[in-house]
């Protein structure tokens, strides 16, 4: 309660609050009572596409996925990210393997779960990797199975590499993309997730094109800069009045 009061006081010291989505902006409008001075700008991501895997790294992934379609996820290994759902879904997908990039408190539990589900040989845990986006060209379907999210940069990276994407049906994500651009699945439903992965792979041609278009239109560095410039101009105009 004390922290909430201090945070509310801190927020009132600013002329304008910027969040990462309209979903978050609505929350802060209600919480602060400020209707006109809260807005949002979507994250943007500048990616160096000339950053690629080393020969050894690439060979490891090629060997791992040789007999499978590859699902990828780049996230902290914590419960909120829903990676346990991916491992359980993999048991329904014998033709798929899973690449997990990231570290966190759930790492050992996820490895145990992979053993319990009989899919350990189809799960590759890479741990933390710098410039994890370099692995995206090797992924057939990118998965975002989170139980809650703000605005994940990994999603933007997947779009930038034209990857078909599967997402949990979170309001914060459904604001950003439509079901014509990604495949949504029902939260906490492993069967729904497995079905979504298959659907994304089958529709990968169209979804890949839409992902690239969406990145160029909405989520580049310049697109984010234009969003903040628009807000700066709005705030300056209000002060002048």
pLDDT along the chain (241 residues), means of 10: 59 80 87 82 93 96 98 97 98 98 97 98 97 97 96 95 97 92 97 99 98 96 94 82 54
Q: State how far the Cα of 130 lies from the Cα of 125, in Å rounded to an integer.
A: 14
Residue 10: predicted pLDDT: 64
- pLDDT tens for 199-218 read 999 999 999 999 999 999 99
Contacts (Cβ under 8 Å, ≥6 apart) of 159: 165, 211, 212, 214, 215, 219
Residue 28: predicted pLDDT: 83
Residue 6: predicted pLDDT: 66
Q: What is the dihedral of CA 145, 147, 148, 151, to 10 degrees?
A: 0
């945070």: which residue's tokens?
7
Residue 33: predicted pLDDT: 76
Residue 3: predicted pLDDT: 44
Q: State how far the Cα of 4 lies from the Cα of 199, in Å rounded to an integer.
A: 43
Residue 40, helix vs strand vs coil: strand
Per CATH, domain 55-218 is 3.40.50.720: no
- pLDDT tens for 126-148 read 999 999 999 999 999 999 999 99
Q: Per DSSP, what are the bridge partners of residue 100? A: 73, 125
CB 141 within 8 A of CB 71: yes
CA distances 2 to 45, 50, 139, Å, are 35, 48, 45
Query: Which helix (H) or strand (E) covers residue 235, if one does?
Result: helix 221-240
CB 166 within 8 A of CB 191: no
Name the segment(s) of the chain with CATH classification 3.40.50.2000: 55-218
Terminal Cα distance for the chain, rounded:
37
Residue 156: predicted pLDDT: 97
**Nearest alpha-carbon partner for 42 in 184, 230, 233:** 230
77: burial class by Cβ within 10 Å (0-12, 13-18, 19+)? buried
């Amino acid at each position: 309660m004390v922290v909430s009061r201090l945070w509310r006081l801190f927020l009132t010291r600013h002329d304008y609050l910027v969040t990462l989505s309209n979903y978050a902006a609505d929350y802060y409008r209600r919480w602060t009572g400020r209707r006109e001075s809260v807005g949002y700008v979507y994250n943007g991501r500048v990616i160096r596409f000339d950053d690629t895997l080393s020969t050894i790294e690439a060979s490891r992934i090629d060997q791992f996925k040789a007999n499978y379609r590859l699902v990828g996820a780049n996230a902290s290994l914590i419960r909120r990210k829903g990676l346990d759902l991916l491992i359980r879904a993999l048991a329904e997908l014998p033709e798929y393997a899973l690449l997990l990039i990231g570290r966190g408190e759930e790492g050992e539990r996820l490895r145990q779960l992979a053993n319990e589900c009989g899919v350990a040989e189809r799960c590759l845990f890479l741990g933390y990797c710098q410039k994890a986006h370099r692995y995206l060209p090797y992924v057939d379907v990118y998965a975002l199975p989170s139980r809650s999210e703000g605005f994940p940069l990994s999603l933007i990276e997947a779009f930038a590499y034209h990857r078909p994407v599967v997402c949990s049906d979170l309001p914060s994500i459904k604001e950003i993309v439509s079901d014509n651009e990604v495949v949504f699945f029902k939260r906490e439903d492993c069967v729904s997730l497995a079905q979504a992965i298959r659907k994304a792979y089958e529709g990968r041609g169209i979804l890949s094109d839409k992902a690239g278009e969406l990145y160029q239109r909405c989520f580049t560095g310049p697109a984010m800069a234009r969003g903040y410039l628009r807000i700066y101009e709005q705030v300056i105009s209000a002060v002048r009045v």
